Amino acid sequence: MTPFRLLTFAAFAAVTLPRLAHRGMFVDGVTYASIARNLAEGWGSFWSPSYTANIYPRFHEHPPLGFWLQSWWFRTFGDHLFVERLYALTIALGTAGLMVLIWRRVHAGPAQSGEQHVTGDLEWVAILLWIAVPVVSFALVGNLLETTVALFTTAACWAALNAVAERTKAPPFTPRPQAETRAWTATGWSVISGLCVVAAGLTKGPVGLFPLAAPIAFLRLPGGRHVWRSLVAQWITVGVCALLLWTSGDARASLTEYLTQQLVPALAGQREVSGSLTILKTLLQGVILPMAGACVLAVGAARRFALPSRSMLERALLFFLLGLAGTLPILASAKQAGHYLVPAVPLFAVAAALFIGPTVGEGIDRLGTARRRRAINIVSAVLALGTLAASLSPAIGRDRQRLADLDALASTVPQGQTIGICPESNDDWGLHAWFERRFHVSLDAAGGQRRDWFLWTARAGNGCLPATCAAVTDAGRQLVLMKCRRAD
């Protein structure tokens, strides 16, 4: 399977590295990187992160764990634009590794009739299906919190799978200490699963809680008859952690502000409102359709569809249902976005790989060893060359004009200070994010006329331009920095 694993690695690199190699990034990712960097430099605290001096000096729009984890990368590597990209890439590789562990755990033991092709050797199929989903690579290269949530939820499902599949009922004549060890091992995996659920919730809120259903879903797996021990241990772990957080004053205050400022208004439709079926549309068009297309290609390569065994169909169904558990509850919120379902995509990918696995196996057999290696290696090489070319091409990066304007200001901007802007520019969230990320500068619209420095933007025009300010950078650009004379 080495050629196919190399192909999967090349495909992963092709959809991620070119965009990670460039400086542009989705505005939310720039914001989150700024908050993490500020934490690393001592601005704000774990339970009260800080964004800018004027925009969310106390940031409670999301729970803080994701920012805190990324802050350690800034502590280690310093303040560089590659830090958040390296963090996102590492998180993605960790998620892929957990999917491999899930795949191999599902296929532990002897293969049943009709499952000769569905073994641990086909774990790359699940990874390829996962990275083929556009919203996954979008969230990854955008440094979105959902990628960290996906790492924790996938780890929670893997731990729950180990807990349920661990035979707590020992065979006859098993020494009692060994039998007790089996039971405690299952409990330990359940505790780990619960801790991962708590970590997912502390990263993005309730969207990370769906692995609480995993022990029930995995009940149908071989060896999964003893589910209650796992379920109770997992839920008790989550409950104890919730109680401990509630009894901590700082934690309770921070999470209460998150609930009142973000979660409750979002559920009530008082925040950004999207279409009521946005998440379903993304699930069908952005997840199921790409995976279905990949499955059709597999059938074409094999020239037939190999029906999975009943056992494999059941396993595929339970992973699909667990993915739905991470998707459908989002419909309760009036605020929906496609990337919200990223934590559930690894489960959908495993389900699809279980379904199409026998067909992929037959397609591999049809290719033949020598022919297979040549064809797959050529495709991998083409992808690698394309990845390199795209990474070096300046036309690929996003926000090119804005970054060029920021470069023109870089030597003049008074770093660490507050600069005035027009009220018309105040809702340009990318402007706030990039000035904080690159210069540690806060932009002030309310008191902008009184600041010693002022930023003119083409969007705002000349309506609020202070008469005492003069341009100190190129006046022909979209962003112009001005120095203002103030009366003593």
* Structural element, H or E, at residue 453: strand 453-457
Residues 197 and 345 in one domain: yes
Q: How far apart are CA 70 and CA 76, in angstroms?
A: 10
Q: What percent of the chain has pLDDT over 70?
A: 89
Residues 373 and 406 in one domain: no
pLDDT, one tens digit per residue, over 7-38 is 889 899 999 998 898 888 999 999 999 999 99
Q: How far apart are CA 384 and CA 229, in angstroms?
A: 47
Residues 332 and 416 in one domain: no
Q: Is residue 171 part of a domain?
A: yes
> If you search the block for the tokens 């540690």, which residue do you land on?
440
What is the mean predicted confidence (pLDDT) over 123-137? 92
Residues 159 and 183 in one domain: yes
Last residue of a domain, one of 390, 411, 430: 390
pLDDT score for 170: 40
Residues 274 and 341 in one domain: yes
* Structural element, H or E, at residue 456: strand 453-457
Q: When comparing pLDDT for 487 and 140, which is higher?
A: 140
Q: Is residue 446 part of a domain?
A: yes
Residues 384 and 409 in one domain: no
pLDDT score for 368: 65
Residues 426 and 477 in one domain: yes
Return the SS3 of 420: strand
Residues 88 and 126 in one domain: yes
Residues 230 and 327 in one domain: yes
Q: Is residue 199 part of a domain?
A: yes
Q: Is residue 47 part of a domain?
A: yes
pLDDT score for 335: 76
Residues 411 and 334 in one domain: no
Q: Is residue 395 part of a domain?
A: no
Lowest mean pLDDT among 8-12, 116-120, 142-146, 295-299: 116-120
pLDDT at 364 over 60: yes
Q: Is residue 383 part of a domain?
A: yes
Nearest to 124 by CA among 357, 425, 404, 337: 357
Last residue of a domain, one of 390, 417, 452: 390
Last residue of a domain, one of 364, 390, 416: 390
pLDDT score for 349: 95
Q: Is residue 111 part of a domain?
A: yes
pLDDT at 346 over 50: yes
pLDDT, one tens digit per residue, over 78-124 is 999 999 999 999 999 999 999 999 998 887 654 544 454 456 688 89
Alpha helices in 368-410 (DSSP H): 369-392, 400-409
Among positive and negative, which fits the CA dihedral 141, 357, 123, 361? negative
pLDDT, one tens digit per residue, over 196-250 is 999 999 999 999 999 999 888 887 776 555 677 788 889 999 999 999 999 988 9
State the pLDDT confidence band at 178, using cuts at 50, 70 and 90. Answer: very low
Domain that holds residue 54: 2-390
> If you search the block for the tokens 């949530």, which residue do you land on?
149
Residues 318 and 461 in one domain: no
Residues 385 and 408 in one domain: no
What are the φ/ψ torsions at residue 453 (nearest 5 degrees)?
-120, 145
Q: How many structural domains does the chain have?
A: 2
Q: How far apart are CA 142 and CA 430, in angstroms?
A: 13
Q: Is residue 347 part of a domain?
A: yes
Q: Could you tell me the pTM of the whole model?
A: 0.90
What is the mean predicted confidence (pLDDT) over 190-201? 95
pLDDT score for 119: 61
Q: How far apart are CA 350 and CA 126, in angstroms?
A: 5
Residue at 325: amino acid letter: A
